[in-house]
Amino acid sequence: MGPVTLDGAWTRRWVEAVAAEVSRRKAELTALDRAIGDADHGENLDRGFQAVLGKLDALDDGATPAAVLRLVATTLISTVGGAAGPLYGTAFLKASMAAGDRDELDAPALVEVLTAARDGIVARGKAESGDKTMVDAWTPAVEAASAAGDDVRAALAAAAAAAAEGAVATEPLVAHKGRASYLGERAVGHRDPGAESTALILAAAAETT
Amino acid sequence: MGPVTLDGAWTRRWVEAVAAEVSRRKAELTALDRAIGDADHGENLDRGFQAVLGKLDALDDGATPAAVLRLVATTLISTVGGAAGPLYGTAFLKASMAAGDRDELDAPALVEVLTAARDGIVARGKAESGDKTMVDAWTPAVEAASAAGDDVRAALAAAAAAAAEGAVATEPLVAHKGRASYLGERAVGHRDPGAESTALILAAAAETT
Amino acid sequence: MKKLINDPGKTVDEGLAGFAAAHPDLVRLIVDPPFAVVRADAPLNGKVGLVSGGGSGHEPLHAGFVGHGMLDAAVPGAMFTSPTPDPILEATRHVNAGAGVLHIVKNYTGDVLNFETAAELALAEGIEVQSVIVDDDVAVKDSLYTAGRRGVAGTMLVEKLAGAAAERGDSLDQVAEVARTVNSRVRSMGMALAPCTVPHAGEPSFELGEDEVEIGIGIHGEPGRERIALEPADRIVDRLIEPILEDLPFQQGDRVVLLVNGMGGTPQSELYIVFRRAAEVLADRGIVLARSLVGSYVTSLEMQGVSITLLQVDDDLLELYDAPVQTAALRWGR
Amino acid sequence: MKKLINDPGKTVDEGLAGFAAAHPDLVRLIVDPPFAVVRADAPLNGKVGLVSGGGSGHEPLHAGFVGHGMLDAAVPGAMFTSPTPDPILEATRHVNAGAGVLHIVKNYTGDVLNFETAAELALAEGIEVQSVIVDDDVAVKDSLYTAGRRGVAGTMLVEKLAGAAAERGDSLDQVAEVARTVNSRVRSMGMALAPCTVPHAGEPSFELGEDEVEIGIGIHGEPGRERIALEPADRIVDRLIEPILEDLPFQQGDRVVLLVNGMGGTPQSELYIVFRRAAEVLADRGIVLARSLVGSYVTSLEMQGVSITLLQVDDDLLELYDAPVQTAALRWGR
Ligand SMILES: Nc1ncnc2c1ncn2[C@@H]1O[C@H](COP(=O)(O)OP(=O)(O)O)[C@@H](O)[C@H]1O
Ligand SMILES: Nc1ncnc2c1ncn2[C@@H]1O[C@H](COP(=O)(O)OP(=O)(O)O)[C@@H](O)[C@H]1O
Ligand SMILES: [Mg+2]
Ligand SMILES: [Mg+2]
Ligand SMILES: [Mg+2]
Ligand SMILES: [Mg+2]
């Protein structure tokens, strides 16, 4: 694959890819949530990203990454609801603020953006690593991206791989946050739906050219 | 079998046999009622005849057939409820009145008693033959008993056989009375539960020695 | 069968004991002979007494409607089985305050026969009794070839309006007349998505395939008019309301009370989806929605389904509908 | 999945449209942004506004409690999903009459976060907002290792008593104090015999074997504390009420409101069987049954099951409980 430039157009393609993937894997995400939650995570995210799709067209062609991210943030906040709505909403909002007025993101900027997103989630939801939440996909992703060096493509790939592993690694955990925390030991053996959707979002980023 | 005398003791044995049979076939009667009614006929009769059993002991040893029949009548009226309670209650009440102060019933008296029971049911429920009710077991039974001549045992056997046939013969009918009448054509193919319980009651009489 | 019960044979008794324990301000329980639920302050001097009853399993009907402005006594039978004459007679005695007693009887052979006997026995004791038979269910053809229409959800409106008439001091004749008028102007029809299970029977009253619904269901788990494939709610509402509208018939300019009644296991949101369509149909016909009532009032245990009831009202009936009522299941104005 | 719905994606909207059509005397519907149910006569000059809300599927909570003496607005989210901040903010604006607005929030991560955002936005507009988090469910351990106790059926008592306080003219601080006091004295626990099916999901939220029940169930179809073999109702009541009694703890001589709440698909007779045993346990402990409430108020669609709630009351709280309320689902005193 050629060199990738994470400009506004890329950001838009990425968001479109996320929307397509969420739609395709909606039932799977909801099934994860049925096991240890309330069976709506796929439905919630799909409602949100479909709304995002509907609003992307209204953006300027030359919109910056930050502008796209902000649109995602406000749309998720006003359409998703549940826990994931404010958490992902905050993540995209903080990401947008970190992106600032840059026209494109290089590797260090990407790390800043991912870090801001993760910190936003932690600030809102107060989850720590190992609490069996989406944080368990975000934190390894941030760390892997930082360690990946100056190649933004490599950073994205590393983040996606780490998020995927992080999601799998939630399976043996007892949950301490979110609905799954009501279950105690009974949550063991199930993957956290939010961690899985985070892996999906970052995988879509790595695959977006 | 030896000659039978339908005295008070016989009447009591017959009622005990009915109670035992209703108890044994409760589920079957209820299943018939489930198909074209409300799934309680076996339960209703069993509640009633169990109550009768509980009161039989209080009767004098020398109680006449009428006294036993009256006890059955008042107990069924006050414990069965539904359609079958008043109908069987009236049947036993009229039967008791027809038995009068006789110490035992010969064949003509038996025919009088059965006729009174049937007439009581018709007077209360207004059903005609062919309406797919217990009347379709009672009427053939009364006719067969009248035609059976002077042997009371033969009269009982004829009544039981005719009631059983009458119950089977309700199967192809559309109902015009009781809950099954709500079903129209959908009642076709099902036996009327009340006709079946009438057959049971008369079969028990034929078998009581 | 999974139920919150102890002994299947004791569900009615224990449920009533709980009911009486929860509402001592409204009712007391007569337990000998078992069972009747009587208004706590009965008999009320000079007031006509209202008694209804029938098989259990339709709660809150009838016990939930005992109280100021509605019934004076409710006589519950065994599950889905009309009560025997004894408790009906006993309830009649308890609520007789010298002005006579009205029996409100749903039209089922068993109910009619048992109330008939009780009324005869009461008359023999010198209690003046009148009976009104409720038969609002248009799912059943009223003809020589059936036991006649069943009494279903419209019964609660007969009880409400006749109860209000009694409360304002109407005579027995007048209260009976109100009950008959309401019965002549009320029509209902119901359907089921899923059957209920009577505790002592242990299995569902009928079977429905994964995509089937039963139209014209009764409230005793007896099968209905026809079995059709599941359809959208709006279409089902149309199937229920059309025969109702045609029957009276209800006409443009009529004012109605619309009762959307859950069969016991239906979520409230679905009742309101049904209500929405029913109100739309009425508006299309130029029929005026005077009052609305949505809830699970005349049920069949945990059956899933709904019934629609329309009552044609004039100013008098509306005044009776609006009059204060204070019962466990229906309450307004006090 | 058999339901009385049209489009699974429209059940909430259509249900609300029906609700508003049925109760124009009590509420009006704000549809932009969709959706909030607002008291028909809001804003009421000088009165503190009460707003609650949460995922749909728990009807009559919260919309059924909008009206005189209870909520000023209810904000329903998608099925089992907390609403977003926009409609919460819009509802807050509508009921603000200058005396401030109280948000009553069930303790779920999503509800807390979305109400938090709405409250911040409202404050930024100059509307005084306070929030009370309801967390009455003793099935969940309240510790650093969980999201904390859930808000379940006790929520309706918080809404009732805080609503009465607002109606009598209490200030925002006072109303919030009443809400917090009620929350500190109310405890609940629930169980399920059978799960519900969220329309868009199309399959049950969890599976239960033919003889299994789920103890400590939440109201979102999320699994409970433990799964046990079906037991008699009395034994199940004991399992629910013991942890409740121990928690506060409730003690001899305490006066309580006992709420037996159906989860949506439970027949009323079973609720009263449960009530009977619960009242018996209280009597055994010398706890005084001050008031009783039995019905399906805080539900999970058609889930079969029950929850028990105890609220410890004094004269003040009892006065607030008894104060007139006029809403679609709870009504007395007017
Ligand atoms: N406090 C929290 N911090 C971080 N993530 C959380 C927190 N609570 C829940 N989550 C995430 O949200 C996901 C559930 O989202 P969703 O199902 O859409 O919301 P809800 O739980 O309100 O139904 C969980 O799988 C988890 O990853
Ligand atoms: N009008 C009637 N005349 C004669 N028999 C009747 C009449 N109505 C009902 N029955 C009989 O009663 C039986 C039903 O009894 P049961 O199930 O105990 O009462 P219910 O119908 O009230 O549940 C029917 O099978 C029928 O034989
Ligand atoms: Mg969820
Ligand atoms: Mg029957
Ligand atoms: Mg019956
Ligand atoms: Mg949710």
Centroid of chain to Cα C282: 23
Chains touching D, CB cut-off 8 Å, 3+ pairs? A, C
Which residues on neighbouring strands pair with residue D103, listed in sequence order?
D51, D131
CB-based contacts of D235: which residues, under 8 Å, 6+ apart? none
What's the gap in Å between the CA of D196 and the closest CA on chain A?
11
Structural tokens at position D193 = 């015999």
Clarify whether residues C33 and C177 are in a common domain: yes
Which pLDDT belongs to residue A171? 98
| D1 occurs within a structural domain | no
| CA geometry: angle C311, C118, C83, nearest 5 deg | 70
Clarify whether residues D309 and D323 are in a common domain: yes
Which pLDDT belongs to residue D119? 96
Of the pLDDT bands very low, low, confident and very high (cuts 50, 70, 90), residue B3 is low
Name the nearest CA neighbour of C230 among C270, C275, C194, C272. C194
Clarify whether residues C157 and C292 are in a common domain: no
With a cut of 70, say whether residue A175 has pLDDT above it: yes
Element of type H or E holding D214: strand D212-215
Note the pLDDT tens digit of each residue in C87-96. 999 999 999 9
Indicate whether residue D110 lines ligand 1 (CB < 6 A): yes
The count of structural domains within chain B is 1
Neighbours of A108 (CB within 10 A): 13
| Separation in Å, CA A41 to CA A47, A174, D82, D84, D217 | 10, 19, 12, 15, 19
| Separation in Å, CA C333 to CA B155, C257, D322 | 67, 18, 14
Is D140 an 8 Å CB contact of chain A? Answer: yes
Clarify whether residues C216 and C102 are in a common domain: no
Which residues on neighbouring strands pair with residue D28, listed in sequence order?
D38
CA B200/CA B17 separation, integer angstroms? 10
With a cut of 80, say whether residue B186 has pLDDT above it: yes
What's the gap in Å between the CA of A176 and the closest CA on chain D?
5
Helix axes B193-207, B135-147, angle to 10 degrees: 30
Structural tokens at position D280 = 């018996």
Residue after which a domain boundary falls, among C139, C164, C184: C184
Burial class (CB in 10 A: 0-12, 13-18, 19+), A2: exposed
DSSP-based three-state secondary structure for D30 = strand
Q: Which protein residues have their CB within 5 A of the ion that is ligand 4?
A: B 33, 37-38, 40-41
| D65 occurs within a structural domain | yes
| D149 occurs within a structural domain | yes
Instruction: Please provide the average confidence, as pLDDT, over all residues in chain D.
Output: 95
Specify whether the backbone of D297 is left (phi greater than 0), alpha (psi in -120 to 50) or beta. Answer: alpha
| D3 occurs within a structural domain | no
Instruction: Please provide the average confidence, as pLDDT, over all residues in chain C.
Output: 95
| D2 occurs within a structural domain | no
Which pLDDT belongs to residue B161? 98
- Asked if D267 lies within 8 A of C213 by C-beta distance, the reply is no
CA C166/CA C171 separation, integer angstroms? 7
Edge-first strand order for the sheet with C27-31 is C27-31, C34-39, C73-79, C49-56, C101-106, C129-134
Lookup result for tokens 């400590």: D216
Note the pLDDT tens digit of each residue in D208-238. 888 999 999 988 877 778 899 999 999 999 9
D and B adjacent (3 or more CB pairs under 8 angstroms): no
Note the pLDDT tens digit of each residue in C123-154. 999 999 999 999 999 998 777 778 889 999 99
Note the pLDDT tens digit of each residue in A92-130. 999 999 999 999 999 999 999 999 999 999 999 999 999
| B1 occurs within a structural domain | no
**Cβ(C233)–Cβ(D5) under 8 Å?**
yes
What's the gap in Å between the CA of D112 and the closest CA on chain C?
24
Phi and psi angles of residue D188, each rounded to the nearest 5 degrees, phi first: -140, 160
By most ligand atoms within 8 Å of CB, the mutation choice from B87, B131, B173 for ligand 2 is: B87
**Cβ(C191)–Cβ(C214) under 8 Å?**
yes
Query: What's the domain range around C209?
Result: 186-332
CA A205/CA A199 separation, integer angstroms? 10
Clarify whether residues D123 and D207 are in a common domain: no
| CA geometry: angle B200, B201, B203, nearest 5 deg | 60
Instruction: Please provide the average confidence, as pLDDT, over all residues in chain B.
Output: 95
What is the CB-side half-sphere exposure of residue D142 using CA atoms within 13 A?
13
DSSP C161: H
- Asked if D18 lies within 8 A of C296 by C-beta distance, the reply is no
Structural tokens at position D35 = 């959706």
C306, amino acid identity = V
Find which of D1, D58, D75, D81 to mutate to test the A interface (most A CBs within 10 Å of its CB): D81
Clarify whether residues C140 and C196 are in a common domain: no
- Asked if B77 lies within 8 A of C84 by C-beta distance, the reply is yes
**Cβ(B197)–Cβ(B45) under 8 Å?**
yes
CA A32/CA A193 separation, integer angstroms? 5
Residue after which a domain boundary falls, among C184, C201, C228: C184
Name the nearest CA neighbour of C33 among C79, C77, C87, C82. C87
Clarify whether residues C124 and C218 are in a common domain: no
Lookup result for tokens 């108890």: B23
Structural tokens at position D1 = 């999945």
The count of structural domains within chain C is 2
Is C105 an 8 Å CB contact of chain B? Answer: no
Query: What's the domain range around A164?
Result: 6-207
| A interface with D, Cβ–Cβ below 8 Å | 30, 34, 36-40, 43-44, 47, 77-87, 124-125, 174, 176-179, 181-184, 186
Clarify whether residues D137 and D259 are in a common domain: no
Contacts of A44 in chain D (CB under 8 A): 78, 81
Residue after which a domain boundary falls, among C184, C209, C224: C184
Q: In three state form, how does the secondary structure of chain B look?
A: CCCCCEEHHHHHHHHHHHHHHHHHHHHHHHHHHHHHCCCCHHHHHHHHHHHHHHHHCCCCCCCCHHHHHHHHHHHHHHHCCCCHHHHHHHHHHHHHHHHCCCCEECHHHHHHHHHHHHHHHHHHHCCCCCCCCCHHHHHHHHHHHHHCCCCHHHHHHHHHHHHHHHHHCCCCCCCCCCHHHHHHHHHCCCCCHHHHHHHHHHHHHHHCC
Provide the CATH number for the domain around residue D110. Answer: 3.40.50.10440
- Looking at A20-29, C174-183, C214-223, C263-272, which range is the least confident one? C214-223
Rg of chain B over CA atoms, in angstroms? 16
**Cβ(C312)–Cβ(C254) under 8 Å?**
yes
| C5 occurs within a structural domain | no
Strand C101-106 relative to strand C49-56, pairing: parallel
CA pseudo-torsion sign D202, D205, D206, D212: negative
More confident residue, D174 or A4: D174
**Cβ(A177)–Cβ(A125) under 8 Å?**
yes
Clarify whether residues C192 and C179 are in a common domain: no
| C45 occurs within a structural domain | yes
What's the gap in Å between the CA of A60 and the closest CA on chain D?
25
Structural tokens at position D247 = 């928690």
| C178 occurs within a structural domain | yes
Indicate whether residue B41 lines ligand 2 (CB < 6 A): yes
What is the CB-side half-sphere exposure of residue A56 using CA atoms within 13 A?
21
DSSP-based three-state secondary structure for C62 = coil
Rounded to an integer, the average pLDDT of A75-91 is 96
Lookup result for tokens 């760390």: A143
Centroid of chain to Cα C194: 20
Q: Catalytic: C220? A: yes
| A11 occurs within a structural domain | yes
Provide the CATH number for the domain around residue B97. Answer: 1.25.40.340
- Looking at C97-106, C192-201, D297-306, which range is the least confident one? C192-201
Clarify whether residues C123 and C84 are in a common domain: yes
Name the nearest CA neighbour of A169 among A203, A207, A131. A131
Which residues on neighbouring strands pair with residue D37, listed in sequence order?
D29, D74
- List the beta strands (DSSP E) in D57-99: 73-79
Structural tokens at position C27 = 């009712």
| A1 occurs within a structural domain | no
CA B47/CA B51 separation, integer angstroms? 6
Indicate whether residue A175 lines ligand 1 (CB < 6 A): no
| A67 occurs within a structural domain | yes
| B169 occurs within a structural domain | yes
Neighbours of A9 (CB within 10 A): 15
Which pLDDT belongs to residue B111? 98
CA A52/CA A70 separation, integer angstroms? 11
Provide the CATH number for the domain around residue D268. Answer: 3.30.1180.20
Clarify whether residues D53 and D160 are in a common domain: yes
**ipTM higher than the 0.90 cut:** yes
Rounded to an integer, the average pLDDT of D193-200 is 90
By most ligand atoms within 8 Å of CB, the mutation choice from C109, C111, C140 for ligand 2 is: C109
| A144 occurs within a structural domain | yes
Neighbours of D298 (CB within 10 A): 29
Chains touching A, CB cut-off 8 Å, 3+ pairs? D
Residue nearest to atom 9 of ligand 2 (CA): B178
With a cut of 60, say whether residue B2 has pLDDT above it: no
| B67 occurs within a structural domain | yes
Q: Which atom of ligand 2 is nearest to the CA of C109?
A: 8
| A60 occurs within a structural domain | yes
CA A189/CA D244 separation, integer angstroms? 30
Note the pLDDT tens digit of each residue in A176-209. 999 999 888 999 999 999 999 999 999 999 999 9
Clarify whether residues C38 and C170 are in a common domain: yes
Strand D255-262 relative to strand D288-295, pairing: parallel
